[in-house]
Structure 1
């Protein structure tokens, strides 16, 4: 009796184990693909990598989770519950904004509390706050709820979105849109800084990103016990539990093609991995400029990649202390004396300045497991120009760290220097060499109007059939919700496994 065996399930290779690559692998497995995820580093996470040092645990990048339903959906695809493996807790207030004069603004999900905060600091802006919240919801309903997981590889999709963009004033900047509602400069800062969290300049990022106020209000701001790395590990476990393969210390050197379609990847070791589908979670500039450097490209040529505007860089100082700083909140913005001028120095003039604004993260405020008993773990982040500035970080890093220490001691952490027991630093150089980020940009291409939606590198590659992009550099953009939503797009643009099998028979 002859037994006719069915052809093997189609193979997908995912490049990069950041949130986008992990989410893509989960989705492809649920749709019947065999999945191999390859990662340059020794552990998954990408920008969400976890450092462990001297008993302290440091999340390298993302520290807050908004729109947790996007993550919960990944487990639901496999009939599981994220809550069984991830302890996600809402934080309120979301963060404390400390202005240069010492006054503080507490951002909350409670609209009445927020209105009271505005009334306390800027009573003339209460009506403006109400207008801003209403506008934020209107933008969210279109730009996030409707468009975040819609592919924009066809220009007709962009054309259909233009009337809403005009109606919602998406052509304006976030700062311009916020300034139309608020008179007080502190309020303008407090309600416009959010694009910095995804690599954008509030002075030039499309006003669509005003949606973040409603996103935070609707879904809250959450923290994962064990750190963001706990979510990363839970996703990696989900993938392997359902038959996927994760290969660490496996850098991709080339995406190979045959007759205009992807055929697989070549690793830096020389090993070839065949694939019917390749999904790149690498930055698009690296995907096209390096991994497809030998391929003739129609749109994302070296010249076009060179002309693109890339996000700012980040200086991140991780440190542990031998005592707890219980007066420091979980998330604190320590703002400097300038706002618009500092933004222009970072994004336009590409000038490393003496002053700065800081984001201080103290996860041990809610999760003491991330430090030895009686100790704290921190990171402090400062937006800086990307490597297009010519800054020599090998020379500047220590001096910059010392200025950040001085600022923290003068503001929220007196005596800090005497209590630091362990530390490490990341600069744009690390983003360039460790994460393959062009110009050391922390968030790939800057989310300007003409580098968003159709103008951004597409989820469906124009350069080879069956090549797809996820992550911060493609639609809808950076930030955990955007990156996870980019993998959600795959369900609409990647043919299912059965289609590939039929095509091969």
Structure 2
């Protein structure tokens, strides 16, 4: 009787002798890097201190409510589809994406509202309803956004910027596009109505940037929304992370969860692997760090002399704001609050003043603006029958200021203030319906994600902390070390961290050259 040979065995045998790559961190950038390395033929081990993959894109369950801990919006599905294709897989077979319409609603204290939409005519009508004289400015703003998308996203954002000559080549284009101007300053040139100035300038907050000071290149987000829409993954972003982990394991990769990496080991200027919290040394031919870039250089390379990303350099860097997030569930509310959709932005009475308090003064203000996520209107499985699941996110100062907020004392009083705003402006009667509750503060981000100063999005994306000025995807400190994720080029946000792995794949040698 002839024995049948599994045709995958030769491939598995080759994989067993392939060069070994370690990926530190199972956030979305790390998982995307692992997928790219696996597709190139590396034997990959992903190591993460949490119990589930996803990093900031993971989820918690409390009393039948699923709380999506971090990102909630997918704006450029193509980066995921391209990643899956590179691995010989079909993203849409693994992940159920649902388009949002409207994308989100913005509300102001005067009662006015703005619904962002994928329908161009609806968008023009919304602009005209608030300020008829700003329609022409809106059209110009969209053209401006497209120009910056083509240059900033499709060009710079999808290739490495680790050589100084890369920067020199693009400086004229930066100058022509007035990259020195802030996002808000650019919006103010196109819109006279302050509400529209806010509606088309707040987006940098979702990647950790001050709209009044980050480069106007980031108005490209308006084109991303118009061209690709806003989507929600059924099961949350955690479902995307879980699907990515399955691809990694399907490639023969290993997911080592609940495991701390204490140090990146170096010998004669070359990375040799990692030392775990247990003391074990795991040898590798190359290491990719999806840990925060600041943590990678300040902590994981603490025993190696650094030339560029020294403790002094990191200390004077500008970090993104912190985040206060209240996750909460409700009972018997599925028919309540019918005008509250999946994504709502509640503006406080101040825009510029509040931003200054957060980014410049490091002050916890009495007033606040909130992003409110209500996934149960799209995904009923996030809550018990008849209930809802929410989170309310408030930008707050990070912990690196001269007088950081004592969140041990302030967390509950601030949560109560958030609840009061919600009951007054969006969810009347909320208090009587509350069930599960969980609070994350900047201290949580510091301790759970090892984020310097508890920053929500690593380094702030100012012009002198972007492109060549940002930590490079290939480390200039140690041979064989690469970086991906929010703190590296091209930056934070789902499209940015997934694109960082695409850039990585261009830099990492083929397996036969890695040893």
Whether TM-score is above 0.5 comes out as yes
Q: Where does 1:29-68 land on structure 2 (aligned, <5 Å)?
A: 29-68=38-77
Partner residue of 1:401?
Answer: 415
CA-CA distance at 1:378 after TM superposition? 0.4
Partner residue of 2:311?
Answer: 302
| Secondary structure of 1:377 counterpart | strand
| Secondary structure of 1:159 counterpart | helix
2:360 equivalent among 348, 360, 363 = 348
Structure 1 residues 390-423: Cα deviation after superposition (integer angstroms, max 9, x where no partner): 1000000000000000000001100101100110
| Secondary structure of 1:332 counterpart | strand
CA distance in 1, matches of 2:188, 2:500: 30
Per mean C-alpha deviation after superposition, the further-off stretch among 317-326 and 96-105 is 317-326
Partner residue of 2:392?
Answer: 380
Structure 1 residues 462-494: Cα deviation after superposition (integer angstroms, max 9, x where no partner): 110010000000000000000000000012111
CA distance in 1, matches of 2:450, 2:507: 26
| Secondary structure of 2:106 counterpart | strand
Partner residue of 1:442?
Answer: 456
1:477 equivalent among 482, 491, 507 = 491
Q: Where does 1:403-418 land on structure 2 (aligned, <5 Å)?
A: 403-418=417-432
Partner residue of 1:332?
Answer: 344
CA-CA distance at 1:228 after TM superposition? 1.2
CA-CA distance at 1:241 after TM superposition? 1.1
CA-CA distance at 1:74 after TM superposition? 2.1
CA-CA distance at 1:327 after TM superposition? 2.7
CA distance in 1, matches of 2:124, 2:87: 42
| Secondary structure of 1:465 counterpart | coil
Contact 2:161 2:467 (8 Å CA) reproduced:
yes
| Secondary structure of 1:237 counterpart | helix
CA distance in 2, matches of 1:330, 1:424: 19
Q: Any stretches of 5+ residues in structure 2 without a counterpart?
A: 1-12
CA-CA distance at 1:363 after TM superposition? 0.3
Partner residue of 2:116?
Answer: 107
2:239 equivalent among 230, 236, 241 = 230
TM-score scaled by length of structure 1? 0.97
| Secondary structure of 1:387 counterpart | coil
Partner residue of 1:460?
Answer: 474
CA distance in 2, matches of 1:369, 1:384: 30
1:313 aligns with 2:317: no
CA distance in 1, matches of 2:220, 2:173: 14
| Secondary structure of 1:93 counterpart | coil
Structure 1 residues 429-463: Cα deviation after superposition (integer angstroms, max 9, x where no partner): 00001100000000000000100000001111011
Q: Where does 1:145-156 land on structure 2 (aligned, <5 Å)?
A: 145-156=154-165
CA-CA distance at 1:101 after TM superposition? 1.1
CA distance in 2, matches of 1:85, 1:215: 23
| Secondary structure of 1:489 counterpart | helix
Contact 2:163 2:468 (8 Å CA) reproduced:
yes
CA-CA distance at 1:78 after TM superposition? 2.4
Q: Where does 1:189-208 land on structure 2 (aligned, <5 Å)?
A: 189-208=198-217
The alignment covers a number of residue pairs equal to: 497
1:28 equivalent among 25, 29, 37 = 37
CA distance in 2, matches of 1:145, 1:86: 24
| Secondary structure of 2:393 counterpart | strand
Contact 2:36 2:87 (8 Å CA) reproduced:
no
CA-CA distance at 1:42 after TM superposition? 0.9
Q: Any stretches of 5+ residues in structure 1 without a counterpart?
A: none
Q: Where does 1:39-188 land on structure 2 (aligned, <5 Å)?
A: 39-188=48-197
RMSD over aligned CA atoms reads 1.0
Partner residue of 1:253?
Answer: 262
CA distance in 1, matches of 2:49, 2:310: 24
CA distance in 2, matches of 1:388, 1:399: 21
Structure 1 residues 151-189: Cα deviation after superposition (integer angstroms, max 9, x where no partner): 111011011111111111111100011111111100000
CA distance in 2, matches of 1:134, 1:414: 40
1:499 aligns with 2:508: no
CA distance in 2, matches of 1:133, 1:75: 30
CA distance in 2, matches of 1:92, 1:142: 28
CA distance in 1, matches of 2:144, 2:80: 26
